[in-house]
């Protein structure tokens, strides 16, 4: 999962990597209360590269220019992605620009330090000067200094740049990252260093161990889907419980939400929905060990998202986890079933009217469950007929979800 630049820089601050004063902007009018003195740079917060060449980075000298530029950036799609937030940052006078990165090389099965004496947007020059150092054993400052020497840095910069690399590696290990990148690392005429841009890719399988990163990504989700996800997840994090992992996949016009218990299942489910002409909108991943807390929370959050008609739950797990899923769904659906039964028992209209009344009382969001074990041991079958569709086939679950979304 890739973080946005402002999210990456929040993690940079934690380990002492120097970053500029900055402020996130959700609407252009917020620039009237900008706390950073002009001139500033406005940056589109998208996860694709090429922002500068596409017009997603603008330098502005006053509030009027900033508001006009912000409106343009908000309406600028970069490789199909529109920003939901901008980063306003102080302008920095860089005399030199370097490229630094730490990446997990899956072929070597080792972390690799990367560096180039030519950073910034000139990718060809960057690659021509790219150097690497493979971390063979336990990390030591020797590896960082070796990279700076291979990059050909001036003697007075070797210690300071090496210190930045050491902090990058520390963050790489502590947060279970696949990639951490600074491009460019700016050097002022006085020799001071500044991370002018940053990129971080987090290993999805490690998200449960890092509630601070989950909080960053959930806050981003809340900007899009409303305060329900943000507030509920904050309660979970503060109480010490693991929150559902909200994957960074968003489709505004979608109407099918997904809950899975692994990233692989999420990818497969999303792809099958798209192949079947369905419209997935977002996805949450729950942990088998915390399904009792995470699944009801994910269900409650997803039902609050406008436009969601169906929640497709795809769980592939051991029998114990399947039983937990079934119990959670029974507890979650039973109150809604009781409300429907009370509404029907209070009146006895004609059959045609009763059918219409019953359809109005049914839950607005239908659940489709793909579970290998029979879930109805824990609740009556009539509950499933009004609230949930169950199958042990993923293809059938996808087809049911698409059909229900089109009919509701």
Q: Strands, E, within 188-278: which ranges?
A: 193-195, 198-202, 245-246, 256-260
Lowest mean pLDDT among 1-5, 97-101, 253-257, 344-348: 344-348
β-pair partners for 195: 185
**Would 218 be classed as within a structural domain?**
yes
Taking residues 308-326, report their average pLDDT.
Answer: 89
Domain boundary among 90, 111, 136: 90
**Would 121 be classed as within a structural domain?**
yes
pLDDT in tens, 130-157: 999 999 989 999 999 999 999 999 999 9
Give me the CATH number covering residue 225: 3.40.50.261
Record the tokens describing residue 313, joined without a space. 């739950």
Report the chain's terminal Cα–Cα distance, integer Å: 33
Per-residue pLDDT at 193: 96
Query: Are residues 314 and 196 part of one domain?
Result: no
Per-residue pLDDT at 137: 86
| DSSP label at residue 286 | -
Query: Are residues 78 and 218 part of one domain?
Result: no
Give me the CATH number covering residue 84: 3.30.1490.20
β-pair partners for 104: 111
Lowest mean pLDDT among 176-180, 244-248, 362-366: 362-366
**Would 125 be classed as within a structural domain?**
yes
CB 121 within 8 A of CB 100: no
Record the tokens describing residue 115, joined without a space. 């560096």
| Rounded alpha-carbon distances, angstroms, from residue 94 to 13, 189, 235, 269, 355 | 20, 7, 42, 46, 71
Buried b / exposed e across 61-82, counting CB within 10 Å, b at 16+?
eeeebbbebbeebbebebeeee
Q: What are the percentages of helix, strand and coil residues in the chain, rounded to 5?
A: 50, 20, 30
Query: Are residues 296 and 322 part of one domain?
Result: yes
Per-residue pLDDT at 222: 45
Peptide bond into 336 cis (omega under 30): no
> Is pLDDT at 358 greater than 90 in this prediction?
no
Query: Are residues 385 and 276 part of one domain?
Result: yes
The structural domain count of the chain equals 3
Query: Are residues 192 and 68 part of one domain?
Result: no
Give me the CATH number covering residue 183: 3.30.470.20
**What is the rounded distance in angstroms from the CA atom of residue 362 to the CA atom of residue 329?**
16
Query: Are residues 342 and 274 part of one domain?
Result: yes
Domain boundary among 183, 202, 221: 202
β-pair partners for 368: 312, 389
Query: Are residues 225 and 188 part of one domain?
Result: no
Per-residue pLDDT at 133: 95
Q: Which residue has the higher pLDDT, 8 or 48?
A: 8
**Would 177 be classed as within a structural domain?**
yes
pLDDT in tens, 3-25: 999 999 999 999 999 999 999 99
**Would 8 be classed as within a structural domain?**
no
**Would 178 be classed as within a structural domain?**
yes
SS3 270: helix
Query: Are residues 377 and 235 part of one domain?
Result: yes
Query: Are residues 235 and 178 part of one domain?
Result: no
Query: Are residues 296 and 381 part of one domain?
Result: yes
Q: CB 257: neighbour CB atoms within 10 A?
A: 25
Task: State the greatest distance between any 2 C-alpha atoms of the chain, in Å, as a whole number.
Answer: 90
**What is the rounded distance in angstroms from the CA atom of residue 298 to the CA atom of residue 80?**
28
- pLDDT confidence tier of residue 339, bands split at 50, 70 and 90: low
> Is pLDDT at 344 greater than 60 in this prediction?
no
Q: Give me the percent of the chain exceeding a pLDDT of 90.
A: 50
Domain boundary among 202, 219, 245: 202
**Would 16 be classed as within a structural domain?**
no
- pLDDT confidence tier of residue 383, bands split at 50, 70 and 90: low
Query: Are residues 106 and 65 part of one domain?
Result: no
**Would 7 be classed as within a structural domain?**
no
> Is pLDDT at 257 greater than 80 in this prediction?
yes
Record the tokens describing residue 398, joined without a space. 């996808």
Distance of CA 17 to the CA centre of its chain: 23
pTM: predicted TM-score of the whole model, two decimal places: 0.58
Taking residues 246-265, report their average pLDDT.
Answer: 82
Query: Are residues 330 and 226 part of one domain?
Result: yes
- pLDDT confidence tier of residue 80, bands split at 50, 70 and 90: confident
Most confident option among 103-112, 230-239, 343-352: 103-112
- pLDDT confidence tier of residue 398, bands split at 50, 70 and 90: very high
> Is pLDDT at 400 greater than 90 in this prediction?
yes
Per-residue pLDDT at 352: 45
- Residue 261: closest CA among 286, 226, 279, 232: 286
Q: Which residue has the higher pLDDT, 376 or 54?
A: 54
Convert 170-205 into a string of H (helix), E (strand) and C (coil).
HHHHHCCEEEEEEEEEEECCCCCEEECCEEEEECHH
Q: Which structural domain range is residue 190 located in? A: 96-202
């Amino acid at each position: 999962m890739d973080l946005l630049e402002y999210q990456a820089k929040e993690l940079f601050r934690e380990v002492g990597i120097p970053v500029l004063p900055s402020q996130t902007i959700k609407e252009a009018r917020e620039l009237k209360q900008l706390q950073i003195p002009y001139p500033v740079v406005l940056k589109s917060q998208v996860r694709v590269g090429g922002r500068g060449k596409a017009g997603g980075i603008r330098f502005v000298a006053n509030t009027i220019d900033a508001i006009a530029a912000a409106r343009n950036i908000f309406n600028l799609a970069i490789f199909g992605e529109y920003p939901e937030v901008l980063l306003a940052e102080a302008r920095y006078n860089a005399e030199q620009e370097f490229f630094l990165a730490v990446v997990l090389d899956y072929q070597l099965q080792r972390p690799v330090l990367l560096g180039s004496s030519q950073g910034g947007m000139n990718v060809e020059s960057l690659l021509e000067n790219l150097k690497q150092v493979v971390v063979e054993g336990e990390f030591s400052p020797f590896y960082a200094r070796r990279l700076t020497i291979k990059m050909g840095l001036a003697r007075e910069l070797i210690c300071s740049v090496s210190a930045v690399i050491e902090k990058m590696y520390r963050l790489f290990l502590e947060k279970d990252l696949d990639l951490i990148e600074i491009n460019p690392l700016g050097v002022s005429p006085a020799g001071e260093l500044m991370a002018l841009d940053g990129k971080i890719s987090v290993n999805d399988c490690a998200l449960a161990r890092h509630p601070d990163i989950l909080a960053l990504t959930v806050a981003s989700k809340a900007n899009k889907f409303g305060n329900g996800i943000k507030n509920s997840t904050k309660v979970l994090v503060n109480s010490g419980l693991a929150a559902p992992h909200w994957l960074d996949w968003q489709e505004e016009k979608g109407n099918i939400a997904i809950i899975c218990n692994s990233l692989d299942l999420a990818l497969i489910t999303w792809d099958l929905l798209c192949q079947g002409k369905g419209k997935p909108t977002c996805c949450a991943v729950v942990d088998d060990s915390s399904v009792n807390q995470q699944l009801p929370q994910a269900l409650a959050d997803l039902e609050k998202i406008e436009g969601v008609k169906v929640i497709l739950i795809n769980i592939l797990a051991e029998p114990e986890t399947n039983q937990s899923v079934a119990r959670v769904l029974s507890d979650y659906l039973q109150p809604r079933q009781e409300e429907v039964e009370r509404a029907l028992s209070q009146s006895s209209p004609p059959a045609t009217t009763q059918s219409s009344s019953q359809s109005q009382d049914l839950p607005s969001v239908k659940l489709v469950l793909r579970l290998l074990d029979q879930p109805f041991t824990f609740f009556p079958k009539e509950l499933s007929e009004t609230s949930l569709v169950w199958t042990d086939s993923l293809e059938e679950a996808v087809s049911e979800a698409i059909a229900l979304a089109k009919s509701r």
